[in-house]
Structure 1
């Protein structure tokens, strides 16, 4: 009798071992973590690093073959007030002024509580990035800002990719469990509606399930899902997009499926300076560092440092809905981000204004008069035409350059509703237990219009906060 029992036990053990070998091959892999972060852009990477450093076991899932998302395409920089870099340059700024600019830029549609969290904590995000290999030590000015506060790498390199490279390296150093080409298809909840993990599939279609004590949504917006864009704002049909292909809004749909409330979904930003038909973004820094905008007639038509929505509207009112960014060697020498535009063949150039005018089919005499008039304003310190308060170029020396631009879909301000602890809220306004969100997947921070420089501040700041709050919940 005992012999038969031993044989049955042995056969059972063999069967279990065989099943453990078979299951991963046909899908159904299951494991566990303290925190699962969905999305490997700036918000997700910031959250994963912060949570790991606070002692949590983290798994970061990214559906694309590489990390970065829209962050890798961000050109300008990160807005923060009261930083050591501003103080070193004698720039007087404060979180309160940053708050006022952000609310005004967002047409007061923003959730003021979320804005206050952003502006009070953005300077700490600058320090977080510095500690993790992405020092943003150069300060410039972007549209809608009262003072220079957009922080970028020394030399004016595009800030987003600079951050992505550094944070990716830090994830590798920390040995954080990062899984690429892993798409989440479901946020799992228990009978009470508490989030308990995620389900999904890898690039080979094998399913997986990860049990988690908390989940952080950091999947970005929906700016590359043009059907979804048109669903919420039909006026944007036919526009090109600056967004990375992964910005499809799937995280918003995942959150909706577990009862999350959405906010500001119709608020979709078009960026004023993208390449017509291409969706290639020209950084805010080109205007911020001194470039002017002229139309096809060679005439300046706007204050270049107004908010993105206003500058975009003004460009769309011009002939063929296009404009030209005009700058010279002085700007090229100080803004490294422009190197890429030259390498891509996006820039026309001339040794004189007249020669440049010929390259872009603009009346040379008119363009010369426009640039000369602006130079006089710069010398006098007063822009009599459009009241621009920061004129950095006098255009007295060449070479001269022009980039043809038009507005393109850039940022989706709407998304999942969160509170100041980055908890996702349901339709009743209550937190969905164990579910957090950060970055462009959320709504409420930017209102009706996002200021340039506030996206990188948003993803880094709320990514860190989501991680901090999720780790607190583990106890």
Structure 2
């Protein structure tokens, strides 16, 4: 009897929840006379994992993202975001409550028809199996810069390529990169009279990583960097602006004109190049297993698609470019218990799946305990404030209104200095001159992260800092700029004084940002087994690998790594595939 009552009450609860839930878009459209075939296409009840048919239907009726952005009244405009050209179904769901993908990282009040305040979560059905087997020469797992460059390079070398991305959009963490792409001896540096060298970039990288990095990999990073800038410019990128980031001896961080964020720009360029080549790029497609041949070679992947379910792709080689694990709190805490509970600046897909896949296949893992915290994540958010703000002249002050460290030191050192301040946070202080020097700062105003004042004293009142102390700090710093010598902290680069009203500040604290460890690879990007031998048919590039950065990554080296090693992985994987027979 009690069981029947509990069953009845449970049923009532489900019914009540259904009534309270927002009507999914399918029902809202049906109320306006829109039939199933209008979205799915005639006779097609099921959509593919890329959800192409409903997305085309959305655009046909409502217009593209650009058109939708024009009609928005809210200044926080998701249709004109840094995510770029994305699909409508990333947020807008037909048969379940819609969810804003932005809320995976941000905390906005974003209402939408048929929506909730919950973040987007994929719901694939692994029990559904598709017996059809797909084939490719090269499968690339992950669609950040490393994966897309590997795919484009392999395609241009004559390989049939499939790119698999578990998230509903391409770009990975590369899309969030802001500061720049480090490169030594480039044309842009020459135009600006900047003297740099491969040797200097190599030494900066080794020193910044506490000499834990693999020297041979660092050599490739530095020696291939200028050619990688040329490569991206050949694809249509703008990397003409050059700035300086922490740990670099000279300005070598390349970015778009005016200092715009580098990541979103490069991802847009790579997306356009992938589209022009008609690359087979599949989103909502999680790789759950690497297939293995009798000879121990990696022979393909098993995939779980959001709609298709589980299926196999046979391939002659696989490139793992799935990124790190900074958005996996449990994994971070396992390797670095002191970081438990610290916010991450990463996109939600950075959970370390590629490490598990590679390890299950016998791959060697290295340096997993080397996890980088970035010093400037906006307090109370997951929004990274680019190191380029400091590189262009901003300073850090504590609650006493005083500088306390060299602002363009290495990330680990600056982070520790902030954590030793009262409140374990600091204020990133800059003026109108710095703001005008770096276009991406406007985004922080857009997100309402910036406090301002007409004078240093006004700003101090807003921040709750002692006004006289803050004025004295700025006077002393400006005198150091004039003298080209920082007597307090020996900051080597003093690009501009802070005298131009208004004056601005963003409160920042350290956040989990990058994982230096990952799959061990050789100089040809071949994944190494625990015995040190290369696993046939298995390659890796980007943050999923270890050995390039050591104990600490210098700002600007990640994008450089993804392009240089992505090119090597694509070329090597395509060459390996050409020598293999067709998989059966």
For residue 356 of structure 1, give the secondary structure of its aligned residue in structure 2.
helix
Structure 2 CA distance for aligned equivalents of residues 26 and 141 of structure 1: 51
**The residue matched to 1:456 in structure 2 has which SS?**
helix
Paired residues of 1:328 and 1:400 also in contact (CA < 8 A): yes
**Secondary structure at 1:28 match in 2:** strand
Find out whether 1:317 has 2:420 as its counterpart. Answer: yes
Matching of residues 159-178 of structure 1 within 5 Å:
159-178=262-281
Three-state SS of the structure 2 residue aligned to 1:108 is: coil
- Which of these residues, 34, 39, 42, is aligned with residue 142 of structure 2? 39
Counterpart for residue 113 of structure 2: none
Could you say which residue in structure 1 is the equivalent of 2:511? 408
Give how far 1:238 is off. Answer: 1.2
- 2: CA distance, partners of 1:354 / 1:270: 32
Mapping of 1:1-400 within 5 angstroms?
26-204=129-307, 206-400=309-503
1:393 offset after TM fit, Å?
2.1
- 1:28–1:206 Cα contact (<8 Å) kept: no
Using the TM superposition, give the Cα deviation of residue 329 of structure 1 relative to its aligned residue in structure 2, in angstroms.
0.7
SS in 2 for 1:397: coil
Query: How many residue pairs end up in the alignment?
Result: 451
In structure 2, C-alpha distance between the alignment counterparts of 1:314 and 1:29, rounded to whole Å: 56
Contact 2:178–2:263 at 8 Å: present in 1 too?
A: yes
Where structure 1 has 5 or more consecutive residues not aligned to the other structure, the ranges are 1-24
The 2-side partners of 1:334 and 1:300 are apart by 22
Could you say what secondary structure the match of 1:193 adopts? Answer: coil
Report what 2:41 is aligned to.
none
Instruction: State whether residues 129 and 308 of structure 2, in contact with CA within 8 Å, keep that contact through their aligned partners in structure 1.
Output: no
Q: 8 Å contact 1:267–1:413 — kept in the other structure?
A: yes
Secondary structure class of the residue paired with 2:573: helix
Runs of 4+ in 1 over 4 A off after TM superposition: none
Using the TM superposition, give the Cα deviation of residue 396 of structure 1 relative to its aligned residue in structure 2, in angstroms: 1.9
Q: Once the 2 structures are TM-superposed, how far is the Cα of residue 191 of structure 1 from its aligned partner?
A: 2.0
Q: CA deviation at 1:464?
A: 0.5
Instruction: Give the TM-score of the pair, scaled to structure 2.
Output: 0.77
Q: Secondary structure at the match of 1:241?
A: coil
**For structure 2, which runs of at least 5 residues remain unmatched after alignment?**
1-127, 580-584
Q: Cα distance, 1:472 vs. partner?
A: 1.6
Check conservation: 1:29, 1:207, Cα contact below 8 A. Answer: no
Give the whole-Å Cα distance in 1 for the aligned partners of 2:422 and 2:291.
52
Return the offset for 1:131: 1.2
* Cα pair 2:292 2:299 within 8 Å, conserved: yes
Note the aligned Cα RMSD (angstroms). Answer: 0.9
Structure number with greater CO (CA < 8 Å, separation at least 6) is: 1
Give the alignment's TM-score, normalised by structure 1: 0.94
Residues 126 and 135 in structure 1, CA contact (< 8 A), matched pair in contact too: no
Q: How many Å separate the matches in 2 of 1:211 and 1:31?
A: 6
Cα deviation digits, residues 262-290 of structure 1 (max 9, x gap): 00000000000001231210001000000
Query: 3-state DSSP class of the match of 2:159?
Result: coil
Q: Distance in 1 between matches of 2:251 and 2:443?
A: 24
- Contact persistence 1:215–1:436 (CA under 8 A): yes
Determine the C-alpha separation between the residues in 1 that align with 2:424 and 2:234: 43
Q: Distance in 2 between matches of 1:205 and 1:56?
A: 25
- The SS at the match of 1:231 is helix
Asked if 2 retains the 8 angstrom alpha-carbon contact of 1:303 and 1:386, the reply is: yes
What's the CA shift for 1:205? 5.5
Measured at CA, do residues 407 and 370 of structure 1 come closer, stay the same or move farther in structure 2, by a change above 3 Å? same
Counterpart-to-counterpart distance in 2, 1:208 and 1:83: 45
Does the aligned pair in 1 maintain the 2:368–2:515 contact within 8 Å? yes
* Partner-residue secondary structure (3-state), 1:326: strand
3-state DSSP class of the match of 1:366?
A: helix
Distance 1:437 1:210 in 2: 18
Structure 1 residue 26 displacement after superposition = 5.0
